[in-house]
């Protein structure tokens, strides 16, 4: 089933999912069970599923894990790719916002943790999680068995033994790979890994082509979850002690 975003059913489904209205969502799925796997077309092409709606940026929708479980119980495919940009699954999207509780619900519901097609190098959800500084989901994925096949991922997560294994690979890492891994170690706050990679020849000031931040700059940045929390607080009028209260 494919429906336009202007279709009243698409509007009801999106509203129920994002508001966390579980009773309304259950009633809607009882009336229209095909909505669980419906493809909602985008205004500029492509499409997404109900689970993509539940995991869309910025995530953390009310009753998110329960909404995901309800949709999966109704037949939604937790590994269905979208056609809205990269072919990402709902788990890719949850990984990109660091919504670990929703990610866990997807994995428990059978989501493929190795599904390719992500916005970070076309990789699995772990690549999205590490690439966007979503450390809670990244560690959840590793704990659930996700493969750590890249030096940059192992460095960012501080997996020392895996870093050593990948450094000893044949052929050895290129200078670009060493520099990228060092940057990611700084991104993930992994001092010992950064020290190891610097000793192996990484450039202390090199930035990867996907970022204009130096290792020093990214080491001092906040991660995705904290950035979203800060945004949420500011949107609701919160101020710090050194900021004037809104008039």
Q: What is the pLDDT of residues 158-171, one digit of tens each?
A: 999 999 999 999 99
Q: What's the pLDDT at 166?
A: 98
Asked if pLDDT for residue 184 goes beyond 70, the answer is yes
- All structural domains of the chain: 148-222 (1.25.40.20)
C-alpha angle 210-173-183 in degrees, rounded to nearest 5: 35
Side-chain half-sphere CA neighbours of 102 within 13 A: 32
- How far is it, in rounded angstroms, from Cα 143 to Cα 165? 19
**In whole angstroms, what is the distance from residue 130 CA to residue 162 CA?**
15
Read off the pTM: 0.91
Average pLDDT, the chain: 94
Q: What is the mean pLDDT of residues 227-236?
A: 93
pLDDT at 43 over 80: no
Task: List the Cα angle 176/181/185 in 5-degree steps.
Answer: 150
- Is residue 27's pLDDT more than 80? yes
Token pair for 235: 């949107």
Q: Could you give the residue ranges of the DSSP H alpha helices within the chain? A: 8-19, 22-31, 50-55, 64-73, 90-97, 100-108, 125-131, 135-143, 151-157, 160-167, 175-187, 191-199, 215-219, 224-235
Mean pLDDT of 144-172: 97
First to last CA, the chain: 50
Identify the pLDDT of residue 84. Answer: 66
What distance in Å separates the CA atoms of residue 91 and residue 46, rounded to the nearest whole number? 18
What confidence tier does 83 reach under pLDDT thresholds 50, 70, 90? confident
| Residue 173 confidence class, pLDDT cut points 50, 70, 90 | very high
* pLDDT (0 to 100) of residue 246: 53
Residue 85 has pLDDT above 70, yes or no: no
What distance in Å separates the CA atoms of residue 197 and residue 210, rounded to the nearest whole number?
A: 20
């Amino acid at each position: 089933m494919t429906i336009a975003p202007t279709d009243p059913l698409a509007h009801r489904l999106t509203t129920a999912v994002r508001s966390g209205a579980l009773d309304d969502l259950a009633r809607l799925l009882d009336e229209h069970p095909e909505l669980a796997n419906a493809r909602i077309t985008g205004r500029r092409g492509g499409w997404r599923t109900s689970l993509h709606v539940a995991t869309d940026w910025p995530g953390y929708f009310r009753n998110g894990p329960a909404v995901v479980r309800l949709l999966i119980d109704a037949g939604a495919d937790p590994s269905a790719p979208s056609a809205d940009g990269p072919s990402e699954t709902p788990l890719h999207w949850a990984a990109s916002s660091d919504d670990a509780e929703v990610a866990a619900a997807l994995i428990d519901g059978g989501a493929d943790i190795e599904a390719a097609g992500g916005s970070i190098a076309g990789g699995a959800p772990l690549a999205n999680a590490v690439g966007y500084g979503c450390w809670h989901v990244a560690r959840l994925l590793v704990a659930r068995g996700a493969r750590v096949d890249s030096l940059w991922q192992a460095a960012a997560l501080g997996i020392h033994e895996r870093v050593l294994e990948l450094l000893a690979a044949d052929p050895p890492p290129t200078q670009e790979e060493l520099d990228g891994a060092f940057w990611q170690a700084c991104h993930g706050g992994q001092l010992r890994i950064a020290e190891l990679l610097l000793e192996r020849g990484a450039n202390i000031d090199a930035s990867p082509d996907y970022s204009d931040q130096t290792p020093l700059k990214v080491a001092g940045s906040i991660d995705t979850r904290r950035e979203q929390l800060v945004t949420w607080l500011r949107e609701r009028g919160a101020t710090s002690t050194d900021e004037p209260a809104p008039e």
